[in-house]
Structure 1
Amino acid sequence: MVDDIEGLIFDFDGLLMQTETTLLECWRTEWAHHGLRLDETTFFADHGGDTSEQHYADLAAAVGPAYDRAASHARRLAHRDLLHQTLDLAPGMRAWLDEAAGLGLPLAVASSSPRHWVHGHLNRRGELDRFAVRACGDEVTGHKPDPSVYLLALTRLGIPAARAVAFEDTPHGVAAAKAAGLRCVAIPNPYTDPTRFGAADLVLRSALDAPLAAVLRSVASSVRSQV
């Protein structure tokens, strides 16, 4: 273990795996199928949870009466599933998970996405069993920035928030972690303004920036300096 840290909690989408990228790509392709261009500046919401219905509504309004929702959905999912066949952990994450095991730190996932989504992706890459705890959006009533999923992860880990560190890729994810009383390391995803992560205890460009132990020592030191 590192200092007083007894557990690590990871967001999933955009942090452990770049499913935000595949999500954007399959919607971008679907808009292009209709000869339209997706407005990527407003695509990602400032909260966790499924926003598919709003995206379908936006596309339907842009296409008009000829829009076939069922065909569009099937086409988009087929493209998304093809992209996911080769999707792996984000750069540097596997090394961090290996290092966490060597440090004896239990791992958790805290995601606003449902269990079938999180478990399915991690299981496909052979990484599911690394996480002693999985807390998902269909197990709580509120999505990030609501802290519910982090509080659930902490309960299942059996450790207090002060002895765990969260890892996030969005401002609303950081807000959820901090509201749960956690220290938080941010790795901003490519679609979010990196200046919006002022609430994080540490901001990195990727998990390749530093070994996990060094990251945890930096977080622990920054907290002590504020006391």
Structure 2
Amino acid sequence: MYAAALFDLDGTLIDTEPRSQEAWSRLFRSHAVPYDDAIIRGFAGRPAREALGDHVHRFSGRTVDELFAEAIHYTTLADMPAVDTVPGALELVSRLRASGVPVGLVTSGTREYARHELDALGALHLFDVMVTADDVARGKPDPQGYLAGCAALGVEPSATVVFEDAPAGVAAAKAAGARCIAISARQPHEALAAADLIVPDLTDIAWPPRFRPVAAVTGSEG
């Protein structure tokens, strides 16, 4: 029933959220701009410049591009949290590829960033298509990226499973018409409630996945 898989990058394939959250927190602290956990979580899964646009008015005399460059600089510092792969992620992608399932990446990061991170993992070759923030006019939670990923793979969204970790990404996948499996490691379950399945990581993911019944649609499992 499911013909293809699309993966988010940050928080889904690689666990960059601790690093990202610290970089955003450091940005707010360095400018003495008040923030809380909800504000920092709000950056997850969204294009960085779009998310910064919601707050730039609070940073006196600064532009979005200046703030973005400063945050990126923080991610390169030696005292930032380490980045690791999400358990089971690369194994799942490799298994899907070996089974002939088309696999794509849809990320809110730039193409340069995505290629760098995947190349560092030796995983760049695993993806048939890549849709980045450079390829869309509107980022997640808008469905444009996932619709573009499905079109590039030549599959219908209804026959696609999306793997995500952030509320914005889940919203984008569902708005596109795809099924969504969400990873709950960095987000509360209630923030991911729109997903069709919530898992702690990507170990032991069956393909095709077995989702909970959707009685309003078919009355049976998808």
| Coarse TM-score class (shorter-chain normalised) | 0.7 to 0.9
C-alpha deviation, 1:74, in angstroms: 7.3
Which of 22, 27, 30 is the equivalent residue of 1:25?
22
In the other structure, the counterpart of 2:209 is 217
Which of 47, 50, 56 is the equivalent residue of 1:49?
47
Tell whether the 8 Å contact from 1:11 to 1:110 is kept in structure 2 after alignment.
Answer: yes
Taking a change above 3 Å as real, the CA distance of residues 146 and 32 of structure 1, as seen in their structure-2 partners, is closer
2:145 aligned with 1:121: no
Tell whether the 8 Å contact from 1:27 to 1:38 is kept in structure 2 after alignment.
Answer: no
Taking a change above 3 Å as real, the CA distance of residues 165 and 77 of structure 1, as seen in their structure-2 partners, is closer
Q: In the TM superposition, what whole-angstrom CA distance separates every residue of 1:25-79 from its partner, at most 9, and x where no partner exists? A: 2333456668998532321327721134666765x56xxx9x9xx9998775444
TM-score, reference length from structure 2 = 0.79
Backbone CA RMSD of aligned residues: 3.2
2:126 aligned with 1:130: yes
TM-score, reference length from structure 1 = 0.77
**Aligned amino acid, residue 209 of structure 2:** R
Taking a change above 3 Å as real, the CA distance of residues 120 and 197 of structure 1, as seen in their structure-2 partners, is same
Which is helix-richer, 1 or 2?
1
What CA distance in whole angstroms lies between the structure 1 residues aligned with 2:175 and 2:188?
A: 21
Taking a change above 3 Å as real, the CA distance of residues 88 and 37 of structure 1, as seen in their structure-2 partners, is same
What CA distance in whole angstroms lies between the structure 1 residues aligned with 2:100 and 2:88?
A: 19
What CA distance in whole angstroms lies between the structure 1 residues aligned with 2:27 and 2:201?
A: 29
Unmatched tracts of structure 2, length 5 or more? none
Question: Percent of aligned pairs with the same residue?
Answer: 28
**Aligned amino acid, residue 17 of structure 1:** I
Unmatched tracts of structure 1, length 5 or more? none
What CA distance in whole angstroms lies between the structure 1 residues aligned with 2:68 and 2:110?
A: 19
